[in-house]
Each structure stands twice: as structure tokens, then as C-alpha cells.
Amino acid sequence: MSDDAPARTGRRTGDSTTRDEILAAARKLFSQSGFAKSSMRAIATEAGVDVALVSYYFGSKRGLFAAAMAIPGDPVARVTAAIEGPRDQLGTRLITAFTTLWESDDAGPALHTMLRSAANDEGAAKAFGGFASDEMMPILSETVGLSEETVRAVASCIFGLALMRYLVGAPAFTSMTTQEIIDDFGPRIQAIIDL
Amino acid sequence: MSDDAPARTGRRTGDSTTRDEILAAARKLFSQSGFAKSSMRAIATEAGVDVALVSYYFGSKRGLFAAAMAIPGDPVARVTAAIEGPRDQLGTRLITAFTTLWESDDAGPALHTMLRSAANDEGAAKAFGGFASDEMMPILSETVGLSEETVRAVASCIFGLALMRYLVGAPAFTSMTTQEIIDDFGPRIQAIIDL
């Protein structure tokens, strides 16, 4: 049973199985082909259901990916929310949104697992790499008008921090409080944005 | 047999075994305690040899770490060399040194393995995290006079690039030539340095 499953229709076991089958199909296709090349339709076909049912359960491909990767909430929505506000504080808002997400009780463990998987498993790497390249990074380019080159460097700083602080646990990164990380990285990401 | 073993003294098998035993002891201690807390003396004791013999074979703890992690050459020396020169081009020299190292035929595969291990294995994470925190990053602080906060952000950008380009293989990062990466990241790392 899942909180976000639709209202029961009587075929209780059937519904739960359908949702799980869509998630399994999504994980398979995201792993095989990456995020961009795995269409909602192809995932529906793989799961043996109508594409409308995929939308019904997961809303969007992004929502489906989050569910397939078991990331609670909607990380993209949180980043999108962080983008709003004065441009000269964008660096601080971005690093605050990411560290808060990474250190949250709901999304944090799933994000750690996803990054660890991506560093190890070719399928998870394709899914995560495609998601970052095709979904997360274009939001920054399109919404705030940053160049792709700038977004690449900003994303590198954020993912490098995640690698060193959460995965590797390097003392130079774990010895900081979250607020110190935000105070340090905010102006430095801003310097990249303002270049 | 190894190219950097000392001249044979007659006890051929003995020499080769000693070097291997020191390396095994180093890997064990680096993994258990991290880079900083694993003294040359402790490694010598673990291997059952005199500490002078460790210096004789590997020169420094850094050299021993590189040998233990099977990174050919001396990555720290290459980064140190990159630091020399005009301050306003430091960003470009650093990213050039790192991408050249990461994409080299000799050190590249070992670095990929080391980063992948560090993302997975607690022992390798301790060794790599400690090496980055205690050896690589202080060089930038001390030699060029960058603040620890600046070095942390510069290192994040470089490690994030390594993660996304070499480990994850995200399309937004693998679609670039090495020169494009250098052209993109050089000025952006410089912006962090100049902040």
C-alpha cells in the first residue's frame, strides 16, 4: 500500500500490482536507455498498461523517475522554488535548497542511495546522468537564463560537494555545519553566476 | 617485479615481498584510519619492517599512498606544478592539470577506480577523503594563499566534474571535448578564486 495510490476501486491487489509493475518497467527502461530516451509510452508498453494510467499514477515522467528512484517529494519542484527571488542571491538560494534536500529526513537517504548507485552501476548512472542533464540543469538555463556552461560549473560544485560531504565523508567537508556550507558556497556559486 | 624497486641485493624474492607487504599494510591502515592518522611508523610496524625501509621504497607518505592506490606518477606533484605561474590564470591551469591527469593513460584508470571505490567503500572513502583533505587541498591554501573556504569550493567543482564526466557519464558532461571543459571551467574556477 502506498499513500499516493489512487482511491481503491475494489480490485485492491490489482491496483497495487499495477503501480509496482509501472515502477519496475520505469526502472528497467531508465536504466537501459537513460531518462531522456525512456518515453512514458514505452514505459507503459513495457508494463503492459495504457499510458494514461502512468500519468494517472505518477503525473509526469519526472514524478515517475522520482518514484522509481524512491525519492520522496519532488526534488525538481524544490529547486524550481529556490530559483525564485533576487538574482544576486541565487547562489545562496540554490545551495540552501540542495543541502536542505540532501540533509532532509525524507529525501536525503534516497538521494544518497541514488548518487551512490550512479557512481557504481551503469544503469543507475544513465538514469541519474540523464535526469541531471535533461531535467534539472535545463531548468537553470531556461528559467534564469544562465548559459549551459555556467550551469555545468554550478552543478559540478553542488554535485562535488554532495560527493565529498555525503558519499566520501571527507573531513574537510563533514567538519562544517550546514549553515557554514551555505555561507561558504553561496557567494562562490554566485561568483560563477555573475561571471 | 616493479620498475621503482631498489637495485637487487641478492635476496630477490625477499625484496619484492617486503615492498608488497608494506603496500598491503598501507592499504590496511589507510582504510582503517584514513590518510592523516596512518603514520609511516605505524605502517612499518604493521608490515614488520623498519620505518627507514618504507622511506627507502616510497620516499614519502604521499608516494606510499599513490603506490597503495596504484596511481602511477605523483598526482600531487602535477598539481603543484600547475600552481606555478600568474595568479589570474590559476583556474585554467588547475582544470587543465586535473583533466589531463584524469584522462591520461597512466594515472587515469587508477584515479577512476579510486574515486569509484571512495564512493562505495568506507575504507577507500577514508583514505581518499583524508588524502584530499589533508594533502591535496592544503597545497592550494598554503602555496597560493587561498582560504580554506575557497579551496573547498574549487575542489568541489573539480570533483563534481570528475563524478559527472568520468563516473556517472552524464551527457551534459561527456559531450564536451577536453578543451571545451578547460575553456568552460577555467574562468569559472578563476571567478571563485578572485572572489
Q: Which residue in chain B is spatially nearest to A160 when comparing CA positions?
A: B160
**Same domain flag for B44 and B110:** no
Predicted pLDDT of residue B75: 78
Closest CA–CA distance from residue B77 to any residue of chain A (Å): 21
Higher per-residue pLDDT: A74 or B166: B166
- Report which DSSP code applies to B104: -
Q: How many Cβ atoms are within 10 Å of B114's Cβ, its own excluded?
A: 21
Q: Which three cell numbers stand for residue B16?
A: 619484492
Whether B1 is covered by a domain: the verdict is no
Q: Measuring CA to CA, which residue among B97, B101, B129 is closest to residue B115?
A: B129
Query: How many other C-beta atoms can be found within 10 angstroms of the C-beta atom of residue A168?
Result: 27
Is residue B3 in some structural domain?
A: no
Q: Which one is predicted more confidently, A185 or B13?
A: A185
CB contact under 8 A, B159 and A158: no
Q: Say if residue A148 is in the same domain as residue A58.
A: no
Q: Phi and psi for A176 in degrees, rounded to 5?
A: -90, 145
A129: CATH:
1.10.357.10
> Cell numbers 559527472 correspond to what residue?
B164
Same domain, B111 and B157: yes
Residue in the block written with cell 528559467: A143
What's the pLDDT at A2? 44
**Residues in A touching B156 (Cβ below 8 Å):** 156-158, 160-161, 164, 185
B74, B61 Cβ separation under 8 angstroms = no
Q: Are A178 and A103 in contact (CB under 8 A)?
A: yes
Report pLDDT for B1: 42
CA nearest neighbour of B154 among B86, B91, B71: B91
Q: How far apart are the first and last CA of chain B?
A: 49
Digit-coded pLDDT (tens) for A142-161:
888 999 999 999 999 999 99
To the nearest whole angstrom, how far is the Cα of B54 from the nearest Cα of chain A?
26
One digit per residue, the tens of pLDDT, for chain B of length 195 reads 444 444 444 333 446 789 989 998 998 888 777 777 889 999 999 999 999 999 999 998 888 888 887 777 777 888 888 999 999 999 999 999 999 999 988 888 778 878 888 887 787 888 888 888 888 899 888 888 999 999 999 999 999 999 999 999 999 999 999 999 999 999 999 999 999
Q: Are residues B88 and B184 in the same domain?
A: yes
* B120-A69-A11 Cα angle (round to 5): 140
A153, part of any domain: yes
Task: Please report whether residue A1 resides in a domain.
Answer: no
What is the per-residue pLDDT for A10? Answer: 39
The CA angle A9-A13-A15, to the nearest 5 degrees, is 55
Q: Do B116 and A116 touch (CB under 8 A)?
A: no
Contact B85/B91 with Cβ under 8 angstroms? no
**Are residues B22 and B115 located together in one domain of the fold?**
no
Does the distance separating the beta carbons of B167 and A34 come in below 8 Å? no
Q: Which domain holds residue A121?
A: 75-194
C-alpha cell at A85: 527571488
Residue A12: which pLDDT band, with cuts at 50, 70 and 90? very low
Cell of B120: 562505495
- Clarify whether residues A61 and A125 are in a common domain: no
Q: Does A129 sit within 8 Å of B164, measured CB to CB?
A: yes
Which conformational region is residue A60 in: left (phi greater than 0), alpha (psi within -120 to 50 degrees), or beta?
beta
Q: What sections of B59-147 are H helices per DSSP?
A: 61-68, 75-83, 90-102, 108-118, 122-131, 137-144
Same domain as B33, residue B96: no
Residue A102: phi, psi to the nearest 5?
A: -65, -30
| pLDDT recorded at residue A15 | 65
By C-alpha distance, which of B90, B95, B69, B87 is closest to B157?
A: B95
